[in-house]
Amino acid sequence: MTGFDNHGLRRRSLLAGAVGLGAAAALPMSAARAASGPADPASMRRYPANWPDLQPYGTADARLDLWPREDNSFILPLELRPRDKDRGVVWMRDFYVNCFQDEGGPVYVATGTTRAPGLDIAAPWNDGIFLWVAHSLNGPWRLIDTTRIRPGAEKGKVWSPEFTDENTGGRTVVAPWQQYWYDDTFGKRGEVWAPEVHRFNGKWYIVACMGDHSQKVGSFMLVSEGGLEGPYRLIEGNVDKPFGDSFIGGPNFIKPGSYYHIDGSFYSEGDDAWLVLHNDLYSKFRPDMEDIVTTTHLPVFSQMPYAPEPYREGVYVFKYGGKYFLSQAVWDRQWNAADGGTQYAYNKSGAGTAQYQYDSVLAVADHFEGPYSVRWTAGVGLGHNNFFEDRSGKLWSTFFRNPNQGYWADPSRVAQGAVPGIVQMEWTGPSGNRVYTKRRNHGSTING
């Protein structure tokens, strides 16, 4: 998460020109009947209150206050590429937004996992990483101008497995393990997931992941040799492999020894930077930023696991209010209780349960490595997100409505999934030290 000095910048409405969610009308009655916390208007106190922890540990909070809604969120109007025009909105997963101070003013940068023309999803291949930029959250959002670097090529694409002809002696743009390849089962293979953009010590970096259909599956980092638009090259530590160790994991079509830790993320503070990996791992970067200090058997965060611990991904660390927050994406599963009600939890699976929402769960600590507190539901459906401050200091999260399974995979809603959304967050202050989706009972508004 990147903050900046906002002297002289005024708050403004984020509704102008934005696309409303319209999701409230589609919310399930079972969630609407979930118990709601007591009213605690922001006007009555300086900070909103923490909600009591749900018991037993691992229970998911599905109440509507924690959903993105029309009053606290909207879809960013990103510039459409030709492939997006029929849909009218960019198809997006793992949506990422950040705000940077650049050349005397704030610039917002957006990116994420997109799909190639003619494909319904971002697999078994996609065509790379695109960046959008704006000076206001409600736009205009333009594809970054890459025409100086690649005249005649598709605007906005800053890296792709197809850029192999840009490799030169001593400079690798696309490593052999990142290139497209072919087999009889999938045909063309190789996709890039979950890119993030960061600025550190005057340079631009992108951390991303080669996905399940790639020759090696795992996280890597690019560094720009110019501005935000690039050109980017691969750091030295990823020329032969992704970060960390390989292990057995992923779908059964992945060759043994080809699966590494996915969903790489980046955290910096002062002159130090860290790689954060799925789910528990981290390592400091070398001073030259060409590799991580610990390349095998990475250290792990100290945190409070669920029992049993479910599959988690999209790990992300940010600092706010002097504390470190560890975010992880976890599927909330639902089932019918004996009394006829609906129950929700992160640590349940098997017969009688079904995936419901892809949530962001948070934990808080005094130190980057932990120990982290018990986890809580930060936002329903926010999974695989990032947190950022806007130019006036408000805290936001991205979301994309996972259309793969669960609530947004329902045929009546799937067309509303895979979108570039943002939702306003609230902090419960230095005593509570929790971050939640802006709750309805706590003075929600998306006006600045």
CA distance 83 to 91: 9
Residue 418 in tokens: 């895979």
Q: How far apart are the first and last CA of the chain?
A: 20
Average pLDDT, the chain: 89
How large is the greatest C-alpha to C-alpha distance in the chain, in angstroms? 68
Q: Is 151 helix (H, G, I), strand (E, B) or coil?
A: coil
DSSP summary character for residue 30: H
∠117-193-355 over CA atoms, to 5°? 95
Taking the C-alpha atoms of 97, 325, 438 and 133 in order, what is their torsion angle to the nearest 10 degrees?
-10
pLDDT for 37 equals 41
Check if the beta carbon of residue 218 is closer than 8 Å to that of residue 210. Answer: yes
pLDDT for 442 equals 56
* Domain harbouring 49, CATH code: 2.115.10.20
Number of structural domains (the chain) is 1
Kindly state whether residue 17 falls inside one of the protein's structural domains.
no
Taking the C-alpha atoms of 295, 373, 2 and 268 in order, what is their torsion angle to the nearest 10 degrees?
-30
Structural domain that includes position 88: 24-442
How far does Cα 205 stand from its chain's mean position? 16
pLDDT tens, 39-87?
444 444 589 999 999 999 999 999 999 999 999 999 999 999 999 999 9
Kindly state whether residue 275 falls inside one of the protein's structural domains.
yes
Kindly state whether residue 221 falls inside one of the protein's structural domains.
yes
DSSP letter string over 111-124?
EEE---TT-SSS-S
Q: Reply yes or no: is the peptide bond before residue 98 cis, omega within 30 of 0.
A: no
CA distance 78 to 142: 7
Kindly state whether residue 5 falls inside one of the protein's structural domains.
no
Kindly state whether residue 15 falls inside one of the protein's structural domains.
no
> Strand pairing partners for 336?
342
Q: What amino acid is encoded at 20 in this protein?
A: G
DSSP summary character for residue 190: B
CA distance 93 to 403: 9
Q: Reply yes or no: is the peptide bond before residue 371 cis, omega within 30 of 0.
A: yes
Give the C-alpha distances (Å, rounded to integers) separating 341 from 187, 242, 359: 46, 45, 21
Q: Which residues of the chain have pLDDT under 70?
A: 1-45, 441-448
DSSP summary character for residue 29: H
DSSP summary character for residue 9: P
pLDDT for 393 equals 93
DSSP letter string over 46-57?
SSPPPPPPPSST
Q: How many CB atoms lie within 10 A of CB 346?
A: 24
DSSP letter string over 241-309?
S-SS---S-S-TTSPTT-B---S-EEEEETTEEEEEETTTEEEEBPTTSSSBS--SS--B------SS-
Check if the beta carbon of residue 427 is closer than 8 Å to that of residue 320. Answer: yes
Half-sphere exposure of 140 (CA within 13 A, CB side): 5
Kindly state whether residue 448 falls inside one of the protein's structural domains.
no
Residue 303 in tokens: 């945190």
Which residue bears the tokens 């001593």? Answer: 170
Check if the beta carbon of residue 122 is closer than 8 Å to that of residue 113. Answer: yes
DSSP letter string over 128-151?
-EE-EEESSTTS-BEE---TTTST
